[in-house]
Amino acid sequence: MANRRGKKTRIIALGKIRDKRGNLSVIQAGKNLPFDIARTYWIYDVPGGEHRGGHAYHKSQELIIALSGSFDIQVHDGENESIFHLDRCDKALYVPAGTWRRICNFATNSTALVIASTPYSPRDYIRDFSKFTELKKNKQL
Ligand code: TYD
């Protein structure tokens, strides 16, 4: 699954520095992150059965990590849907711009860390799925 610029939604293995004092994983600009970081936020205390997201971005690219617990990320490129299950701190999902994404099936006490390539801007959001598919069909996204 790739966006208009050929960027692919994919799992990125972050690696794990094992230690008997506890494990450590790193994300570093220019190394294992395919964009410059402009913002991070995290989603937590999600009640059972709830979902987050359900939108696409014009510009923002994201990396999503299950810092605790687990959840599914449904992604759609305008033609095909894929589902990725995140349940490890050393595994991230890269989501390029122009991808519909929805996070669901949160286990109790899950935390989703999101690293984004742009500052928050409501104008970057596409919240209507039919508008999203139309923009994709017309190659405007
Ligand atoms: P929203 O992006 O709609 O959440 P979801 O991804 O689950 O759809 O954000 C929910 C609220 O939080 C909304 O009022 C905007 C605000 N918000 C910020 O102020 N800054 C941010 O970086 C984000 C992601 C959200």
| Overall domain count for the chain | 1
| Cα-to-centroid distance, 63 and ligand 1 (Å) | 16
| Residue 13: half-sphere exposure toward Cβ, Cα within 13 Å | 3
Residue 5: inside a domain, yes or no?
no
Q: Which residue has the tokens 């450590």?
A: 24
Residue 4: inside a domain, yes or no?
no
Is the Cβ atom of 88 under 6 angstroms away from ligand 1? no
Residue 38: inside a domain, yes or no?
yes
Give residue 35's pLDDT: 95
**pTM of the predicted structure, to 2 decimals:** 0.95
Give residue 141's pLDDT: 94
Which residue of 45, 46, 52, 75 sits with most ligand 1 atoms within 8 Å of its CB, as the best mutation to test the pocket?
52
Is the Cβ atom of 120 under 6 angstroms away from ligand 1? yes
3-state secondary structure 9-71: CEEEECCCECCCCCCECCCCECCCECCCCCEEEEECCCCCCCCEEEEEECCCCEEEEEEECCE
Residue 104: inside a domain, yes or no?
yes
Is the Cβ atom of 53 under 6 angstroms away from ligand 1? yes
What does the alpha-carbon distance between residue 13 and residue 117 come to, in Å, rounded to a whole number? 19
Closest C-alpha residue for ligand 1 atom 16: 120
> Which positions are annotated as active-site residues?
55
The helix/strand/coil state of 122 is helix
Domain around 26 = 11-137
Q: Which residues pair with 82 in a beta bridge?
A: 75
For the chain, list residues with pLDDT below 70: none
- Chain centroid to Cα 78, Å, comes to 16
Q: Whose CA is closest to 63, among 41, 47, 87, 81?
A: 41
What CATH number did the domain enclosing 89 receive? 2.60.120.10
Residue 15: inside a domain, yes or no?
yes
